[in-house]
Structure 1
């Protein structure tokens, strides 16, 4: 394993811990929105620089550049406002990074961006965003919100209020003091991941400094991802080495604020890191798909005891279980989880069990099949692992393969879940195992190589239920290492 792989694994592990405890917050800079097609700040202000007879390529203080424009226009910033509207009011779609972050259980977002991509991605994920860009909004709470989006520099729909010039920054600590207090509090109580942020913003520098002075050696650990300096086209090696050295010193300086940096070769690698974080989080939730009118070579009490004991063991390992009320299986799953919880003095909540009972009658204008499809997608979206057991039903007086279970398999496959069919239980579970075997799934990169022997045993018709239970628990333990 390379040094980068080790550092990436440590970062994902650290972020996962805070994510599971609802302590992870995101600070998004312009780099998060750039892949959506928005121009950089320097490109945005290029017409302003030309108007001032300046070369945008030589300008590093863009806030000062915006101020120069206002100074020469008698404090009129109408052109700046129009530039924002023209460039940020496009129909840009959230990027993969936006989408992953929105799907994760992150309740706090801070950003210096004016665009609406964060709010849009949260909405696309079926969640409610409570957006704050004015101080008076901090005292309001949107009902049913899942995440708060603090836009500390304003919103594109109100460009006249956006923080753009030196005047805006110099008065920020007075006009926007509640935002400073709110961010300071979050920096103390939450773990931040800085994404697409260059740390050149004077407001954040002011806030980080205040927190550092107040808490000294007791600061919370934060993280950021930055691209390593590479030699640009036309750049001399000496200039490239100079920038690289400056980046090293900057990364060391960030440690004063409790911020550790992970360097990537390209910003596209951030998507991979966030994807690993999402998989690591979802891996803690297991979707159990099963239905049984009969149990093949097993007695009913054996099969029900197996499902009950397996569910209890899975819950004891700290996994959350998602399931519907599959006939002959669902009640045993529920009983197993409940017994584990109550024996350990816990109460039932969505941290241990998510149930989705299937309605049997049509309600409203949508037919039952459509509702069931939504139910299945909703259930499976929570999970990272799918177990398939038995899978049959009574239809027209005979036992047939459960088509609903096969649909759940297709959904789980399309969503990238780790698929574990318990083939020795027969019926749909066996059919799913055979489909995956024929496609080469168990020998692909999608399936952990250390689990292959166990999968073979789970498909062997000679394997007994007690052995299958031990194999599955062992497999889940290996995944959790």
Structure 2
């Protein structure tokens, strides 16, 4: 990662925490899923006009020429033929859908954004007509504004010069809505070339109103490389033009991130998701007995750990395990009220396991689904103690082992606190026997810190600083 990319990630994460992020998706986001770009979409129409589409730069004009000669029907049919086919969202769609982003804007006609959001269980409110803006879907998690229309209605898609020229009148509510988001949210423009006249008009209005007080936005461009061009002159011209475009975008407070390969965009988004998720800590633990420690010592440790994590601005997710969870969330709640003035739900995800399911099979299935949901909201999983009372005997908690496996499947960083004994000790032994399978072995500080969690101690409070140290190191990976 370059320094500019690292700075962007930190700024983006900060805005993400404050629910201030919006995405603007262009054709580039969909092209990697297999959809054609504008030039390829219009190629057969240009051929009918005896135009060489590769020599044309005003693609909106080409669509208008075809309309003038042949009417709208063939254009709508071409849209249906090329875009109506269902395709799977890309990995970039998937990452964005998992992040807590509530506003998506796009000039694309396809359904990849809403499909990716629905795939992760989110309720999506899709808007592509003026009347849609006046309606609100109940319990929506995200809004997708398709400012140029939807493939289900190709006859009304914004594609010709007539459509663009009338946009300020026919679609004025979208101009107002996007202007508002550009003022109040930090946008990431992805797969977008900034050649769309509607967006240029909207951003110019915002600039005229706010001048140097515009909000900071970001876009990602791939650097021009000679291998993408047939001649050196074409490459030089493209490089000069890209530099001029980047400079021009600063008028609208759009900062450009350059990547060498498109795969770097996925790397950046993956890093954002990983760091964001690792701000939420899941605690797996249960205890009927407490080994060489007293019940009160364990409760005091957990209470302080929960409090310190909140103080350090981590979020907590917990299933409130037997003998463990209550003390942990008590410390967290006290810290939330003392430091963050309440708003418990913003910092703490509490989901007690449903106990009164008489059928063992149904209970196990329900608990597995429950575990997946609560663990999936976190990025780091702590494992503490892990024992239970069964038929008069204290046994290792098999539920903790299941949670460990789920955490691994969902990509969480795992931290077994080996010195707490029981199942946590078994898990610590497993990870330390094959460290490279679980951690970045080049991070010697992290490996040493995890190793220390297996050292015997007299009282549980002695490991608070060690646990916090491991979490801090993991949150920066």
Structure-2-length-normalised TM-score? 0.96
What displacement does 1:479 show? 5.0
Deviations 1:336-362 (A, max 9, x none): 112212334722422111111111233
- Does the aligned pair in 1 maintain the 2:380–2:471 contact within 8 Å? no
1:146/1:254 Cα in 2 relative to 1: closer, same or farther (>3 Å)?
A: same
State the secondary structure of the residue aligned to 2:151: coil
1:88 maps to 83
Q: Deviations over 1:387-412 (max 9, x none)?
A: 11001111222111111111111111
Alpha-carbon deviations, 1:147-190, whole Å to 9, x = none?
A: 11100000000000100100000000000001001101110111
**Relative to 1, partners in 2 of residues 1:366 and 1:127: Cα closer, same or farther, differing over 3 Å?**
farther
Match of 2:161 among 159, 163, 166: 166
Give SS of 1:140's match: coil
2:307 to 312, 321, 341: 312
CA-based RMSD of the aligned residues comes to: 1.8
Instruction: Please state how far the C-alpha of 1:446 moved relative to its aligned partner.
Output: 7.6
The answer for the alignment partner of 2:206 in structure 1 is: 211
Residue of structure 2 equivalent to 1:42: 39
Counterpart of 2:323 in 1: which secondary structure? coil
2:213 equivalent to 1:255: no
Which deviates the most, 35-44 or 15-24? 35-44
2:418 maps to 1:423: yes
Per the alignment, in what secondary structure is the counterpart of residue 380 of structure 1?
helix
Query: Using the alignment, how far apart are the partners of 2:268 and 2:389 within structure 1?
Result: 45
Aligned counterpart for 1:113 among listed residues 94, 108, 111: 108
C-alpha change, 1:388 and 1:449, in structure 2 (3 Å) is: same
Q: Which of residues 331, 350, 357 is equivalent to 1:362?
A: 357
In structure 2, C-alpha distance between the alignment counterparts of 1:88 and 1:42, rounded to whole Å: 14
Residue deviations 1:186-208 (CA, integer Å, cap 9, x gap):
10111000000000101001111
* Residue 309 of structure 2 is aligned to residue 323 of structure 1: no
1-side partners of 2:318 and 2:272: how far apart? Answer: 23
**117, 132, 136: which one pairs with 2:131?**
136
- Once residues 407 and 441 of structure 1 are traced to their aligned partners in structure 2, the CA distance between those partners, rounded to angstroms, is 21
Task: Report the equivalent of 2:146.
Answer: 151
| CA distance in structure 1 between the aligned counterparts of 2:359 and 2:193, rounded to whole angstroms | 51
Q: Distance in 2 between matches of 1:201 and 1:363?
A: 60
- What TM-score results when the alignment is normalised by the length of structure 1? 0.95
> What residue number does 1:352 align with?
347
What is the match of residue 52 of structure 2?
A: 55
Alignment check: 8 A CA contact 2:105 2:145 kept: yes
Q: 1:7 to 1:83 in 2, by over 3 A?
A: same
| CA displacement, residues 308-332 of structure 1 (integer Å, 9 cap, x when unaligned) | 1111111111111100121110111
TM-superposed deviation, 1:439: 2.2
In structure 2, the residue matched to 1:127 is 122
Q: In the aligned structure 1, how far is the partner of 2:77 from the partner of 2:441? A: 48
* 1:458 lines up with 2:458 in the alignment: no
SS of corresponding position for 1:113: coil
1:11 is aligned to 2:8: yes
Unmatched tracts of structure 1, length 5 or more: none
Equivalent residues of 2:336, 2:344 under 8 A apart = no
Aligned to 1:399: 394
Q: What does residue 413 of structure 1 align with?
A: 408
Structure 1 pair 363–20 and aligned structure 2 pair: CA distance change class (3 A): farther
Native 8 Å contact 1:225 1:261 kept in 2: yes
Paired residue secondary structure (2:346): coil
Q: 2:437, 2:465 → 1: CA distance?
A: 20
**Is the Cα–Cα contact under 8 Å of residues 424 and 461 in structure 1 kept in the other structure?**
yes
Distance 2:360 2:174 in 1: 46
Distance 1:449 1:390, change over 3 A: same
1:442 and 1:452 in contact (8 A); partners too: no
Q: Are the equivalent residues in 1 in contact too, given 2:297–2:459 (CA < 8 A)?
A: no
- Distance change (3 Å), C-alpha of 1:466 and 1:187: same
Distance in 2 (CA, whole Å) between partners of 1:158 and 1:122 is 21
Q: Note if 1:197 corresponds to 2:199.
A: no
Partners of 1:431 and 1:300 lie apart in 2 by 21
What is the rounded CA distance, in whole Å, between the counterparts of 2:457 and 2:76 in structure 1? 73
Decide which moves more: 39-48 or 168-177.
Answer: 39-48
